[in-house]
Amino acid sequence: MTKVDLIPGAWSGRDDGSGPAHLRWHSAMSAFHADIEPGATVLVGFRSDEGVRRNKGRPGAARGPTALRHALASMALATPIRVFDAGDVAVAVGHLEDGQRRLGDVVAGLLDAGHFVAVLGGGHEVAYGSYLGLSNSAAGTSGARLGVLNLDAHFDLRDDPAPSSGTPFLQMADAETERGRLLNYAVLGIAQPSNTAALFARAVSLGVPYLLDDDCGAANLPAVESFVDEFLRTADLVHLTIDLDVLPASVAPGVSAPAAFGVPLEVVQRVCDIVARSGKLALLDVAELNPKLDFDNRTARTAARLIHRVVTWRAPVG
């Protein structure tokens, strides 16, 4: 990848002084360039509404990457981190497949350079582009067991004529079949009223383990932790994908399909902590932030907190 400029105005915020005692994301952030030593965290934006539009949702997620940067900018850092911004992959109307391919190329290059990648969506079609990057990277083609953990109210296993925000995990399953493998995919937070019987049947046919949102309350945290631990035992490299509509609408109103029930933030955060500390997390993406529908930047701030936790708590892979 070539050197990029920082997104104008995105990385600015409160400044209490110089030095590590006053460190915030905006002061730690630099523009990505190819000479960076391995081991850094690199952010990539995916400015896409096309998948949501095709899925008959409410557009606006293309503005999500910018809103996430603004929400992250003033967050305080307890310790210094090496973090870089690689800019955005922008998806034109009608060109989702090309955008996913381009995102995959960027992610694969960053992973091959030894970096941890956090992709800022965009609709949940971002997940397939992220998957292309991990599966086509050197680590993904080395025989390592890939695992995709989705925090989501929806299976996103729709069998539609054209790819959309509702199809990424069926696309992954088809791609894995072509490689002679089964997709290792698990979902936490499924809302029964938001998924048809056909989608549940497809999940069963693909061997997808899942937890309903009913079973993900704070009182059920031991069962949730056990579910995540069991998934982690099946994978060497993990792709964690967070659709913000997994959270209650009171916490995450700024999404295309706000949750009537949802998984409590403390449970979602705990899942992120477990995965981040596992030493297996190679890739994170966050999807469905729609700033046009947000209230007081509530959803953006919540998403930024989760990204902050994952990046600052993540154990090195391997």
- Asked if residue 271 is part of any domain, the answer here is yes
Alpha carbon distance 238, 304 (integer Å): 20
Cα 54 to its chain centre, rounded Å, is 20
Q: Using the predicted structure, report yes or no on whether residue 4 has a pLDDT greater than 60.
A: no
pLDDT for residue 5: 58
Q: Which tokens sit at 298? A: 């509530």
User: What's the rounded Cα separation, in Å, for the pair 280 and 142?
Assistant: 15
Q: Give me the CATH number covering residue 197.
A: 3.40.800.10
User: What's the pLDDT at 233?
Assistant: 98
Per the annotation, binding residues are 124, 152, 154, 156, 243, 245
Whether 121 maps to a domain, the answer reads yes
Q: Give the tens place of pLDDT for each residue, 79-130.
A: 999 999 999 999 999 999 999 999 999 999 999 999 999 999 999 999 999 9
- Predicted confidence (pLDDT) per residue in 232-262, tens digit: 999 999 999 999 999 999 999 999 999 999 9
Question: Is residue 126, in this structure, part of any structural domain at all?
Answer: yes
The total of structural domains in the chain comes to 1
In DSSP terms, 84 is beta-bridged to 30, 42
Q: For residue 41, which of 246, 314, 277, 227 has the smallest C-alpha distance?
A: 314
Between 12 and 311, the more confident residue is: 311
Report yes or no on 48 lying in a domain: yes
Domain assignment of residue 72, yes or no: yes
Is the link from the previous residue into 122 a cis peptide, with omega within 30 of 0?
yes
What are the pLDDT digits (tens) for 7-17?
A: 667 898 888 88
- Owning domain of residue 212: 20-313
Residue 10 located in a structural domain: no
The interaxial angle of helices 298-313 and 265-277, nearest 10 deg, is: 20
Residue positions forming the annotated binding site for Mn(2+): 124, 152, 154, 156, 243, 245
Q: With 50 as the cut, is the pLDDT of residue 74 above it?
A: yes
Is residue 185 domain-resident? Answer: yes
| pLDDT band at 18; cut points 50, 70, 90 | confident
- Considering only 10-14, 72-76, 144-148, 238-242, which range has the smallest mean pLDDT? 10-14
- Cβ neighbors of 281 (< 8 A, separation 6 or more) are 116, 238, 240, 275, 310, 314, 315, 317
Query: Is 3 within the bounds of a domain?
Result: no
Over residues 195-215, the pLDDT tens digits come to 999 999 999 999 999 999 999
pLDDT confidence of residue 31: 92
